[in-house]
Amino acid sequence: MRRFSVVWGGQLVSVIGSALTAFVLGVWVYTGTGSVTQFVLIQFCAVVPGILLAPYAGVVADRHDRRRIMLAADLGGGAVTALLLVAASTGGLAVWQVYAATALSATLNTFHLIAYTALVPALVPKEHLGRINGFMQVTQGVQIAAPLVAGALLGLVGLRGVLLVDVVSMVFAVGALLVARLPEEAVRPPGAGDVDRAGVGAGLAWLRGAPGLFALCAVFGAWNFLFAIAGGLVQPLILSFASPATLGVLMAAGGSGLFAGGLVMGVWGGPKRRVLGVYLGLALGGVFLVLHSLAPSPWLIGIAAPAFLFTLPLMNTCCVTLLQTKVDPAVLGRVLAVVRVLGTAAMPVAFLLIGPLTDGVAEPLMAADGALAPSVGAVIGTGAGRGIALIFLVVGVLMLALAAWAWTRPALRTADDLPDAVADEAAAAERTTP
């Protein structure tokens, strides 16, 4: 546990620095170009490399020393930020460089995240995995809250100052990895020598042999798709009835819900039967998304948004812990890579659908004279922004339907009954480490 705490602390500092940089670069691109399209391209560059390269990252994580993979990724990320700092300091920073840096950082992060997640089960006792994964979710809350700090820093030290903070944060992450004494069994899993024969398809083959976990991946992918739609529209929804200042407050409130959820999961660890946490997260998430649609009220969003984001650590912790305890450590990296691909592949589709779905379908339907004004409009209102509210209503109902469908899958309901891959890998590693 002490070893994990050292690694986790260093990575948390690094994540804060990266989140600050991501925010200020987005601000720099948007204020410099005035183009929403060029701004959205940053998000595209941040998502696509992970989808394309995750299978190869899984192979690397199962073949090589996982600490070295994390070190290389942290050092590479620091080098990318340092190059941006040099460009900004010399006045040569260009938009295309931001895109390239974002894509490269996303690539490095993919390798880092898969190696990190595969490393955790060998560092902590099995009974504490849920709590540890909960604390790892705290980093997401930090990322959402980062814009508040980044905005203040941007005014105080400027773009170059924020980039310098990010470089320093990478030093902390690297230092923590170097200081932590990690056992050989953790950084290099048993059976690593067989990876060459298995290839990138081993993760998918393993999941197909565990129907309950394969169904879990399908549910996770559908949930991410719905979450991407809601996440992409929450800011336009708020701005349809509130000021930018109110938007900042509500986004911070949402981040607090995610942060609190991570802390709760860190203390609790989740239900003993992890799949029940998945069902609960889906059902509560659907309810809270529906609440977003009921009225154009900052107070309503101030309650519904943190409550919805509170369910994310519950879902993520239960899913990851199930995989870490049930999957053979020799293929864990590749399985996690497949899960990442299946879980995020539909997100770019969601981003592409948001604009046409909102402007071409939902908003006209919910106009004062729209087709749904007399029926649905009587419940959620009509006019500007109510089309977005309609999408939240539909997405919330679909999430509830997903929870109901998941409950009907016997293999998924009994996923916790699958045999554990290793009784207590962390304890074994502890015994073999001087």
Structure token pair of residue 239? 């701005």
Q: Which DSSP state fits 417? A: G
Return d(Cα 381, Cα 378) in angstroms, integer: 6
pLDDT of 248: 67
- Ramachandran angles phi, psi of 181, nearest 5°: -90, 100
**The pLDDT value given to residue 244:** 64
3-class DSSP state of 200:
coil
d(CA 413, CA 274): 10
Confidence at residue 141, expressed as pLDDT on a 0 to 100 scale: 67
- Which residue is associated with the tokens 């009921």? 294
pLDDT of 75 reads 96
Structure-token pair, residue 74: 């942290």
Of the candidates 186, 188, 187, 192, the one whose C-alpha atom is nearest the C-alpha of residue 430 is 186
Q: Which residues contact 314 (CB under 8 A, 6 or more apart)?
A: 261, 265, 270, 277, 280, 281
Residue appearing with tokens 């007399």: 374
Spell out, as residue ranges, where the chain has pLDDT lower than 70.
1, 34-37, 39-40, 141-148, 151, 185-186, 189-200, 244-245, 248, 422-434
What's residue 145's pLDDT? 65
- Residue-range definition of the domain harbouring residue 308: 2-192+199-431
Which pLDDT belongs to residue 69?
A: 94
pLDDT computed for residue 192 by the predictor: 52
Coil, strand or helix: which one is 141? helix
Distance CA 225, CA 351 (A): 9
- Give 249-286 pLDDT, tens digit per residue: 787 788 888 889 988 998 999 999 999 999 999 999 99
Cα–Cα distance for residue pair 12/19, rounded to 1 Å: 11
CATH number for position 53? 1.20.1250.20
What global pTM score does this model have? 0.80
Q: Phi-psi region for residue 165, left (φ > 0), alpha (ψ -120 to 50) or beta?
A: alpha
Whole-Å CA distances, 204 to 23, 54, 271, 327, 338? 35, 12, 27, 12, 6
pLDDT value, residue 120: 87
The helix/strand/coil state of 381 is coil
The count of domains in the chain is: 1
